[in-house]
Every structure is written in structure tokens, then in C-alpha cells.
Structure 1
């Protein structure tokens, strides 16, 4: 569908990415089109599956102060068991399968470094994990 996006669609998407709560009237003014055109474009982009929804961005220093990415190598055919165990850890935000050196990539968030150390210890104790490597996320580059 992205091939069918014209310049107006792309500009509208850019404005919505910056602030998805911008009123249609303000979007129309910024794009120099009518409010109805903006609303019709948004509806068309939603129906075609280009826009899947609108969301809220939280400050990275918000609720949990320490964020990290852990890359995991799974032993043998234990992937399903490892993923299930990871999902039971409250500090695990997301789990992704991947290719290459690592089998899984896990996002971890905790309140502080002590909590992070404890979460990492529990993660490393999961049966079926052969190796892991963790990188703290320091600052989002904008």
C-alpha cells in the first residue's frame, strides 16, 4: 500500500507521527487543505491498513528507569519453554524471535539497577538459555 501514498498522505502521516492528537482542523491548516480532506485521508489510510491506530509516547525516564536489550541463545528445541518463562518475568516488556547469532531479543525494564540485577539473574537461570548478552539503553537518539 505504501506505493500508493502520495505526498499529501506522507505529509499527513509525518504530522500524525509527531502528534497523533493534533485536531483535524489544525492538520488541515498545516497541510493547506480542507478539514474534510484530512478526515477522508485518515479514514482511507485506516481502512487500507496503513494507519493501524493512534498511540501515546511515554518519556523514556517515566515509570521504569532502567531499560535494556538482552540477546539470548536458546539450547536445542527449548524456544517455546524459554519464551513462556520470559513472559512470566514482570520486567520483560517484549520478546522477539530473530535470526543470526541470537535466537531471541528481549526488552527488559526495571525501576533501578538493583531491580535490573535481580531480573537479569532470574532471566539467566531460565532452563534452556545457553548464552545471553545484555546492553543497557542509555539515551534515545532523536
Structure 2
């Protein structure tokens, strides 16, 4: 069941999405709420599973992963769980999505270069039992998303 989020909760999510290391004091000041209220709301959002954790936002290219691609996969339906388990263990797979429609799975993969991408897709992924075929879509540019949870689509740092 989805948590009930009000405008303040969404603004908290916007701010923490932009800067997960923001202090509670700064968060409270930006939202014009008390620190106690900020602490309580963030704790509630964590306990309810809305906030799953805090992570570093890594630039893949700066970390040596200069090639990215979306790989769509068709597979034998009864092999889904085993293929998923193998994909989760595979270095370079940044995201796995089970789809409805033309493709069964979409992957965001990151590799050092085109040769590494080729190895990952042709040797590792296509070599998995249950994988019928793949299509690879190179990513030319990845602008940083400005995902917002509230009404504003302007990144919090620019408000």
C-alpha cells in the first residue's frame, strides 16, 4: 500500500533527491518547518519504505564506465527467475526492469568501452540459458534527471 504523502513530504523528497547529505537543519530551513518536524517526517518516510536509503550519485564516465546502453531481452517465460538471478550477479547491469509488451526485460548496462559492452551483451547476457534474443540501444548522452516528487520540476538547488 502506498504511503499518504502531503506537499511537505514531497518537498522533503525533492530536497533529499537533490542532496541526500543535506543536514536536517538545512532541510528544515528550506521547507520552513522545525527541525523536530523534519526529523519526524524523514523517519516516517524511512519507516514506511518511501525512502529506501541514501546513496552517492556516481558519474559513470568519471568512474571509468564510459559506455552505456539499454538492452532489451526476450526470454523463455518459465526461465525468468533464473535469468533474473544471473543478471543480478552480473557486473555492469545497473538496472533491471520486467516489462509487458514487445520485450520481456530491459537492462541499463554500463561498460568501460564498446569492446567491454560487446563482451557483456554477446558473451554474458546472450549466453544465459533462457535468453532468446537481445537488442542493444547505445546511450549517447545522459543528462542528469531532475526528478521531482512535488509540484515543482525545478531542481531544489535552483529555486
TMscore range, shorter length: 0.7 to 0.9
Moved more, 115-124 or 87-96: 87-96
Question: CA shift at 1:40, angstroms?
Answer: 1.5
Equivalence for 1:65: 66
Equivalence for 1:111: 112
> Any conservation in 1 of the 2:3–2:50 contact (CA below 8 Å)?
no
Q: Tell me, what secondary structure is at the counterpart of 1:77? A: helix
Equivalence for 1:52: 52
The CA distance in 2 between the partners of 1:106 and 1:80, in whole Å, is 15
> Any conservation in 1 of the 2:126–2:134 contact (CA below 8 Å)?
yes
Equivalence for 1:136: 138
TM-score by length of 2: 0.74
Higher gyration radius (CA): 1
The CA distance in 2 between the partners of 1:140 and 1:37, in whole Å, is 36
Structure possessing the higher relative contact order (Cα contacts under 8 Å, 6 or more residues apart): 2
Q: Which runs of 5+ in 2 are unaligned?
A: 146-159
Moved more, 130-139 or 74-83: 74-83
Number of aligned residue pairs: 142
Q: 2:128 aligns with which of 120, 126, 139?
A: 126
